[in-house]
Structure 1
């Protein structure tokens, strides 16, 4: 496994350059033949959460905003994600009301501003409640995706995640639903479709093994609260590898994160702290296995996992040590 940031900082500085809170390793790094590390992302979330019966409205936006106003805010925030973190991807939520109703005309500006800034965009569908892990209205769901794919299916920087956390389905049921999406929207290259793992996107082995889903990317979520007794990085790494099941080259960790406002030093205690060892395990594994990650959350006011916070018309970092460790995982 790649040596973590804290271990490198403890070594002599020969061969290293440390500047502006970022760590740069001098020397050649080989790239994997197949990888997802083109994804260096943030979740831009609704402050109420992305599970919503109405429109999903990312932090800082409002339902009465015009396209031009949304674009202006999104342009500034996306530039902050790039400049503050080095992110190149934004994961955005949708649901049927957000696309079928008038909000979509304005909401598209978040996607357009991201693309205009050279970002990748992951468009992901959420159910209406966090207690609902299935698609409750298949007609509305298909209509939503028909409209979204019609608008952005030909753009090579847009990725599509049919459903976030399909925990209401068995593995076979979810594979059937996901393969149905692939058939209906066969014009979208499979390499730009991200299929959620089973449960709460908590294991990708079943979807990875399915021939019906071959060629797609896979979505893994991972949180420290799932194993609160773990305090050593090696414990988290072993658990992660079990959940990946050998499909690392197709997997993007589309959600992971930890407290950003409580003063945790994420560069220390990788073998003696729950959140520090967890965060190190995800980022070190991502770096060593050339995997993409999307932190939860890039921006979500009121959520102490939010990496960024509003400062006037721009964004600032909540925890510099977390940003350094995050960037390490992204290969910086």
Structure 2
């Protein structure tokens, strides 16, 4: 999530409450008992320095538009190995959009996915809209075509997961569930356990999508950020986070969460008394205790104060050792 999107999300949080209650006619299922965990996902986002919301190609930091497949693969292989050795990550979440997949960039960009898979990583491929002010698919034909191409390439690989749309805040709950149902029907060859359905709004609640019977069997994506509230006690954050997960912890992956990593904060102290320390402690303690997988935002994004890593020559270096330790705690290390 970009700085611009963070501000917009903070200003519109109250609308989510309205959206969540706007569809009494939805067909829902009773909460299923926890039968599994998602803590196999220990991941990071690799994002475009300009923002993943692009009208053109999405190009994660360290790559360039002129790169060939071999060049992308080489850079990605180095960065993925750094995510593994520096952080202990086993998952990377990568952005796509229709312009990126319908063009020559796709043949090069596949090098990033292939390098991650070759290094034994899980890959979550997530679609961004082409504008940060829309929050919904603007060209459904292009969106389906994009996914047909991506699933055609990676549908048979059990380590690739598909997130139809990041932060669908432009949809009501009922419309979002309907669109996801259509996506699942169109791509029925993909096992539901490899589909990651975004929570409503800014992925900020999964209770609505979790209760929808049409989406049974899918994973659920939750985003959660420390600027959404001003709590300074870990218990306050934990209570707030719990309400966003509800009874769906066994299906939930927190595939965006993050805090400042370039400002010198010590995340191993002051868990009761400081906003971001208490926030990160709450997320990671909750994830660890409930077996919830998590994917930090961002593992790498140039110019983002939340970035866990920075480019250091041909590899990556940590920005905040205490932050790394706290995130790894959430992963079960």
Normalising by structure 2, report the TM-score: 0.90
2:13 paired residue number = none
1:19 paired residue number = none
Map residues 114-129 of structure 1 onto 2, 5 A cutoff: 114-129=116-131
1:314 paired residue number = 315
Render the CA deviation track for 1:5-24: whole Å, top value 9, x for unaligned: xxxxxxxxxxxxxxxxxxxx
Rounded Cα–Cα distance in structure 1 between residues aligned with 2:35 and 2:150: 31
Structure 1 residue 246, shift from structure 2 partner? 1.0
Rounded Cα–Cα distance in structure 1 between residues aligned with 2:207 and 2:150: 28
Rounded Cα–Cα distance in structure 2 between residues aligned with 1:225 and 1:246: 24
1:296 paired residue number = 297
Rounded Cα–Cα distance in structure 2 between residues aligned with 1:103 and 1:114: 17
Map residues 1-332 of structure 1 onto 2, 5 A cutoff: 33-228=35-230, 230-332=231-333
SS in 2 for 1:222: strand
Rounded Cα–Cα distance in structure 1 between residues aligned with 2:262 and 2:190: 39
1:23 paired residue number = none
The runs of 5 or more residues in structure 2 that have no matched partner are 1-33
Render the CA deviation track for 1:201-244: whole Å, top value 9, x for unaligned: 0000000000000000000000011002x000000000001000
SS in 2 for 1:208: helix
Structure 1 residue 257, shift from structure 2 partner? 0.4
Matched residue count: 300
Rounded Cα–Cα distance in structure 2 between residues aligned with 1:292 and 1:132: 28
Structure 1 residue 129, shift from structure 2 partner? 1.3
The runs of 5 or more residues in structure 1 that have no matched partner are 1-31
SS in 1 for 2:220: strand
Rounded Cα–Cα distance in structure 2 between residues aligned with 1:118 and 1:327: 18
Structure 1 residue 289, shift from structure 2 partner? 0.2
SS in 2 for 1:35: coil
Render the CA deviation track for 1:35-79: whole Å, top value 9, x for unaligned: 000100000000001011000000000000000000000000000
Structure 1 residue 33, shift from structure 2 partner? 4.6
Render the CA deviation track for 1:102-123: whole Å, top value 9, x for unaligned: 0000000000000000000000
SS in 2 for 1:159: strand
Rounded Cα–Cα distance in structure 2 between residues aligned with 1:51 and 1:237: 30
Normalising by structure 1, report the TM-score: 0.90
Rounded Cα–Cα distance in structure 1 between residues aligned with 2:75 and 2:35: 38
Rounded Cα–Cα distance in structure 2 between residues aligned with 1:245 and 1:190: 20
SS in 1 for 2:38: coil
Rounded Cα–Cα distance in structure 2 between residues aligned with 1:200 and 1:130: 11
Structure 1 residue 245, shift from structure 2 partner? 1.2
